[in-house]
């Protein structure tokens, strides 16, 4: 429910209504604007109907929030959100290149990848310390040791870092070491994990599940925001379809659709979306043209030797070329890398 206050509404009245919302077991929202104050009440619709705010003299209007995802929806938050990861800003017209290795393998590899990302214009360094893999026999990451190497590489090149969380037991460590936390496709609907990162105090990048609808992604984001974290970034990374020519089917139509439905930033991962190195740059450029707030790509100093996702990882020179192409395209669109 959205409660629009009249311009003459006093601070005491606003506080009283917020207390009333809270006393009913609902989640109160206070959104002061330049001309008037807007309040929000989230929770059980049967309780919302009992508030009776329409009869309040200081209330101008009461509107239901029709979307099932209240905090994520543009109904409650019409303006684009900007999310800061370190000194990088994502959303609100800003475009961010996020790059790095799929998995942290050793100090030499992650440092070389970090330098390639930085040279290409990346604003955030990505890398997996914990790697959920389809096969139990595949490389699963180095855990805390890999996280320490990623942090060191990020500090050396001056980039904030983002890495994936797969288990709530590692949350405190990641919240301490990383600048942002990624929830991967396999955990998009791990609701206990979503609630946990909602209270972690770190920006969260939520990747679309491999068989998830757009509304499924938005409802998963609602779990994080309802748990207290407003800094959520949505990531389109391809979905499973009947097509086998690519690793996944990159759904670029989801970009403008998500931005129509939600105020949250949307980035695209063309590496996982295609699974093929030669397709990464074209789809990254297409994502920028579709209005994405950034792209996340994988780079490795020697992709054939990569322990994870070598076929979709760019060589350093390809990474630099992509950075130049993005800068040129964004300039034509009136945006900056």
| CATH fold of 83-332 | TIM Barrel (3.20.20)
Domain boundaries, the chain: 2-63, 83-332
The helix (H) or strand (E) run that includes residue 160 is none
119, with CB counted inside 10 A (0-12, 13-18, 19+), is middle
- Phi, psi angle pair for 211, to nearest 5°: -130, 25
pTM reported for the whole predicted model:
0.92
Q: What is the pLDDT of residue 207?
A: 98
Q: Return the structure tokens found at 112.
A: 């070389």
Taking alpha carbons only, the member of 31, 68, 81, 74 closest to residue 233 is 81
**pLDDT tens per residue across all 337 residues of the chain:** 889 999 999 999 999 999 999 998 988 888 887 777 889 888 887 888 888 888 899 999 998 888 899 999 998 888 999 999 999 999 988 899 999 999 999 999 999 999 999 999 999 999 999 988 888 878 888 999 999 999 999 999 999 999 999 999 999 999 999 999 999 999 999 999 999 999 999 999 999 999 999 999 999 999 999 999 999 999 999 999 999 999 999 999 999 999 999 999 999 999 999 999 999 999 999 999 999 999 999 999 999 999 999 999 999 999 999 999 999 999 999 988 8
Token duo for residue 243: 């097509």
Give the CATH fold of the 2-63 domain.
Answer: Alpha-Beta Plaits (3.30.70)
pLDDT score of 288:
97
| Separation of alpha carbons 163 and 332, rounded Å | 32
Q: In the chain, count H helices and then E strands.
A: 11, 14
pLDDT at site 35: 75
Query: What distance in Å separates the CA atoms of residue 278 and residue 152, rounded to the nearest whole number?
Result: 30
The pLDDT value recorded for residue 52 is 87
C-alpha span between 314 and 116 (Å, rounded): 10
Strand partners, 303: none
Distance CA 301, CA 248 (A): 24
**Is the dihedral angle over the CA atoms 280, 285, 288, 290 positive or is it negative?**
negative
Cα–Cα dist 314/327, whole Å: 18
């Amino acid at each position: 429910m959205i409660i629009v206050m009249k311009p003459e509404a006093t601070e005491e009245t606003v506080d009283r209504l917020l207390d009333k919302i809270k006393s009913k077991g609902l989640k109160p929202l206070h959104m002061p604007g330049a001309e008037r104050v807007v309040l929000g009440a989230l929770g059980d619709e049967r309780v919302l109907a009992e508030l009776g705010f329409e009869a309040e003299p200081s209330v101008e209007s009461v509107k239901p929030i029709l979307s099932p995802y209240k905090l994520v929806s543009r109904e409650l938050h019409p303006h684009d959100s900007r999310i800061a990861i370190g000194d990088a800003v994502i959303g609100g017209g800003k475009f961010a290149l996020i790059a790095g290795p799929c998995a942290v393998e050793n100090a030499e590899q992650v440092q070389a990848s970090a330098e390639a990302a930085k040279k290409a214009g990346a604003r955030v360094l990505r890398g997996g310390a914990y790697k959920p893999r389809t096969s139990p026999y595949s490389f699963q990451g180095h855990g805390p040791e890999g996280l320490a190497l990623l942090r060191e590489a990020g500090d050396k090149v001056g980039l904030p870092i983002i890495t994936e969380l797969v288990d709530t037991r590692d949350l405190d460590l990641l919240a301490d070491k990383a600048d942002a936390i990624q929830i991967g496709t396999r955990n998009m609907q791990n609701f206990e994990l979503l609630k946990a990162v909602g209270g972690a105090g770190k920006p969260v990048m939520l990747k679309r599940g491999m068989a998830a609808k757009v509304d499924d992604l938005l409802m998963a984001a609602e779990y994080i925001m309802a748990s207290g974290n407003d800094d959520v970034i949505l990531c389109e990374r391809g979905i499973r379809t009947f097509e086998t020519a690519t690793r996944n089917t990159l759904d670029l139509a989801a970009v403008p659709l998500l931005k129509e439905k939600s105020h949250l930033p949307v980035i695209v991962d063309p590496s996982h979306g295609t699974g093929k190195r030669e397709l990464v740059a074209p789809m990254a450029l297409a994502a920028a043209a579709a209005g994405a707030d950034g792209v996340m790509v994988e780079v490795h100093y020697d992709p054939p030797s990569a322990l994870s996702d070598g076929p979709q990882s760019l060589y350093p020179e390809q990474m630099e070329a992509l950075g130049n192409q993005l800068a040129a395209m964004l300039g034509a669109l009136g945006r900056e890398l």
